[in-house]
Structure 1
Amino acid sequence: MFDRLATDPALAAARVLATATQERAAADRAEARLLVAACDWADLHPPESIHLAACFDAPPGSEREEQIAGQGCPLVAEFSLAELAAALGMSTTAGKRLVGHALELRHRLPRLWHRVQDGQVQAWRARRIAEATIHADLEPTAAAYVDRMVAPYAERIGVSAIDRLVAEALARCTTVTDATIDDENSCGHDPRHVTVHDPLAAYDTTVRVEAEVDLADALARGAEELRALGSTAPLDVRRSRALGHLARHQTALDLTTDQRADSDRDDPHTPAREVVLHVRLAAAVTTRGEVHLDRLAELEEGPRQVLLDQVRSWCAASHTRVTIRPVLDLAEQIRAPGYAIPPRLREQVVHRDRTCVFPWCSRPARRCQVDHVTPYDPERPDTSTGNLAALCTFHHRLKTHGGWSYTPLGPGEYLWRSPHGHHYLHDHTGTRPVDRPRPRP
């Protein structure tokens, strides 16, 4: 058989195409069944499943019901979403979005839901439409109108066409005026937004910004003014610089009088940008006592790598304040006498864990809380390096009130156990499940 495929390229190509088509169809069916499973999980965890929901003296931070889809969709017990997300190998936010899309499709977009389950529309197309209707916070009648408009054509069009068709349906069923925007019961939808896409690795120290603005703002001639002032940069680069001027609250007069638009030198008339960046630099000391810095620096915000030359240019610019903190030994055991965590100990935990240590959570540790792994006991206090970890607010509540537990195995390494008995190992490289294979039911 393999010899025949090797000698007949047409037969080999047909076989590859058939295999690819079959695998794509199988993946689409699996994604449709995953949406059903997400709905089933939500049905198993209604607000009534929260045992403290009916108590008036429920402790602060305990579990509560959550609306994760549009009006008319059932509420869900919020802690249950973390269990499903971890089992699927995704963050809690991604798992919440999956369940929300499934509920939105089943309850508010039934035509689209049935077409997905019949194999006529791919799940990712339906989820993109569900995300738009959830984001618009439409009333059920408006969502039904979008369903009638979009469902018959969802499988025939691409991503951009889907977005345009949803936007047209939203525009036809809503009227955006000052009155409707102010009325919280209206279905008015303002599509304007600015989204900053922060890549995980960008050596050129740039980020991608996606924006939807008023037509008059989009036709502003800032890029043409830069060209008239002598800029030879491409159009897209001039647009980016013009947007940077606007972001720094640059007035039109300052923009037209700035004769150094293409220069990296600072303009004293331009308001200084206030950006706080935490940069880690690896250094080595030679036998002569000279300090050599690694050519790559780690930027905590992101995180991503930047070149040392870029860090030098940031520090050399005027209006820049540089703060150098003492080097922390991440292996040192620091102890505090009481419950409060001193700044030096907190800083050590932030640098050691880098992110929230819950499975698949990527929230930066600097924006997290510091949790006592073993609950604090005034009689035997243990506020030390080995008993502290970075947890974001939600996962801190989940660990305290949701039945999750974890054990430190080493610096920055934690073994988690879910309420359903699943185990996950989290370290600097990420998260992986460590459960033994279970027999099929």
Structure 2
Amino acid sequence: DARVAYCAHKVSYAEVERQITTAIARFDPEQAEKLRRQAADGRKLDIHTEAMSLEGTIEVSGTLDAQDALDLDAAINRLAADRKAAGSTESLDVRRAQAAGDLARGQDTLPFDGAKGGFETGLRPSSTTEKSIKITRVIDLHVHEAGVFGDPNATVGRSGRKPVLVETIREWCGAPDTVINLKPVRDLADHVHVAGYEHPDRLIEQDDLVDHHCVFPWCTRPAERCDHDHVTPYNKGGPTCSCNSAPLCRGHHRLKTHGRWSYDVLDRGTYLWHSPHAHTYRRDHTGTEPVLRQRP
């Protein structure tokens, strides 16, 4: 239609979408309700803990209800403004990020008295019980002596994570109410063996530090969120020990148990998988590689 073509270029895509949504709500309420539910099902909040940066930062992304998002934005803006009033010289983006952490710990800024020309610095609990939320973090540190005694830019390895700076660790340890519990160094070459079926904590920890991920071909689920499998089943004589244990995510654990997949340990952290269709895959810390069958 010439009349539509005449004005179409003047209407934005967002306006067209809004008009369509309005029309659906007016003339097809059942479809409108279905679309609303689909949009609600898309709500999520992802904290990408598996991708920590060298500086100790983690990306956060998500989709919230509009009112929840607006309330969260307002609370973060208020706490960021309070930090500036208390003397912070950080940028707005940094103060907003810090404010999100304050909210996560159930803390609020101390009152700022602009009329009296003074303010108090610090944080206070926002709950009526006046108690902060206690957060426990377990960090596996592998520190080179250069990081302890010399180079402040030396990195500290974390099991299953990207490296972080020694200076970042110092900041974490310097936070108020921090409690540090030191554990002995875990020898990954040590052979752990127990008589029972259940994997002990020291064997689970050793598996997680050696393999980092589910050991099924191409799987990337972190080992700490996996089951711990007997490579040779326990009921077929397989021992519960370092040379017969590996992390498998729940789905691939079931596939190995019920789906006719099997695997062998070539070396600690290196596995040879056999599929039901006679395909073979080599899996180690570098990834997965198909093993070509040789023709007779």
TM-score by length of 1: 0.50
Task: Report the Cα distance in structure 1 between the residues aligned to 2:170 and 2:209, rounded to whole angstroms.
Answer: 22
Residue equivalent to 1:131: none
Residue equivalent to 2:137: 276
Q: Are positions 1:209 and 2:53 aligned together? A: no
Q: Which amino acid aligns with 1:210?
A: S
Structure with the largest fraction of helix: 1
Contact kept? 1:337, 1:381, Cα under 8 Å: no
Contact kept? 1:174, 1:188, Cα under 8 Å: no
Residue equivalent to 2:89: 232
Summarize the alignment of residues 57-136 of structure 1 with structure 2, pairs less than 5 Å apart: none
Q: Deviations over 1:350-372 (max 9, x none)?
A: 22122111122222222211110
Contact kept? 1:336, 1:384, Cα under 8 Å: yes
Q: CA deviation at 1:303?
A: 1.5
Rate the CA distance shift 1:397–1:209 in 2: closer, same or farther, 3 A: same
Q: CA deviation at 1:389?
A: 0.6
Task: Report the Cα distance in structure 2 between the residues aligned to 1:233 and 1:225, rounded to whole angstroms.
Answer: 12
Q: CA deviation at 1:398?
A: 1.0
Q: CA deviation at 1:407?
A: 1.0
Task: Report the Cα distance in structure 2 between the residues aligned to 1:325 and 1:208, rounded to whole angstroms.
Answer: 29
Q: CA deviation at 1:187?
A: 3.2
Q: CA deviation at 1:394?
A: 1.2
Task: Report the Cα distance in structure 1 between the residues aligned to 2:180 and 2:231, rounded to whole angstroms.
Answer: 34
Task: Report the Cα distance in structure 1 between the residues aligned to 2:157 and 2:183, rounded to whole angstroms.
Answer: 15
Residue equivalent to 2:254: 397
Residue equivalent to 1:360: 218
Q: CA deviation at 1:397?
A: 0.7
Q: Which amino acid aligns with 1:344?
A: R
Task: Report the Cα distance in structure 1 between the residues aligned to 2:197 and 2:271, rounded to whole angstroms.
Answer: 22
Contact kept? 2:85, 2:112, Cα under 8 Å: no
Q: 2:154 aligns with which of 285, 289, 295?
A: 295
Residue equivalent to 1:248: 105
Q: CA deviation at 1:375?
A: 0.8
Task: Report the Cα distance in structure 2 between the residues aligned to 1:273 and 1:391, rounded to whole angstroms.
Answer: 31
Q: 1:218 aligns with which of 67, 73, 76?
A: 73
Q: Are positions 1:384 and 2:241 aligned together? A: yes
Rate the CA distance shift 1:224–1:282 in 2: closer, same or farther, 3 A: closer
Q: Which amino acid aligns with 2:73?
A: A
Task: Report the Cα distance in structure 2 between the residues aligned to 1:331 and 1:201, rounded to whole angstroms.
Answer: 27
Residue equivalent to 2:37: 187
Task: Report the Cα distance in structure 2 between the residues aligned to 1:389 and 1:233, rounded to whole angstroms.
Answer: 46
Task: Report the Cα distance in structure 1 between the residues aligned to 2:265 and 2:156, rounded to whole angstroms.
Answer: 28
Q: Deviations over 1:213-254 (max 9, x none)?
A: 533543454133333333332221222222222222224x64
Q: Are positions 1:434 and 2:284 aligned together? A: no
Structure 2 residue runs of 5 or longer lacking an equivalent are 1-12, 114-118, 126-130
Task: Report the Cα distance in structure 1 between the residues aligned to 2:204 and 2:247, rounded to whole angstroms.
Answer: 9
Task: Report the Cα distance in structure 1 between the residues aligned to 2:157 and 2:284, rounded to whole angstroms.
Answer: 18
Q: Deviations over 1:191-218 (max 9, x none)?
A: 6543323463511111122244533543
Task: Report the Cα distance in structure 2 between the residues aligned to 1:374 and 1:234, rounded to whole angstroms.
Answer: 56
SS at match of 1:389: strand
Rate the CA distance shift 1:239–1:318 in 2: closer, same or farther, 3 A: closer
Q: Which amino acid aligns with 2:48?
A: H
Matched residue count: 259
TM-score by length of 2: 0.71
Task: Report the Cα distance in structure 1 between the residues aligned to 2:138 and 2:22, rounded to whole angstroms.
Answer: 41
Task: Report the Cα distance in structure 2 between the residues aligned to 1:317 and 1:337, rounded to whole angstroms.
Answer: 43
Residue equivalent to 1:197: 48
Task: Report the Cα distance in structure 1 between the residues aligned to 2:219 and 2:39, rounded to whole angstroms.
Answer: 31
Root mean square deviation, CA, Å: 3.9
Residue equivalent to 2:121: 260
My pick for the range that moved more, 360-369 or 194-203, is 194-203
Contact kept? 1:333, 1:385, Cα under 8 Å: yes
Task: Report the Cα distance in structure 2 between the residues aligned to 1:211 and 1:420, rounded to whole angstroms.
Answer: 40
Rate the CA distance shift 1:420–1:389 in 2: closer, same or farther, 3 A: same
Contact kept? 1:345, 1:385, Cα under 8 Å: yes
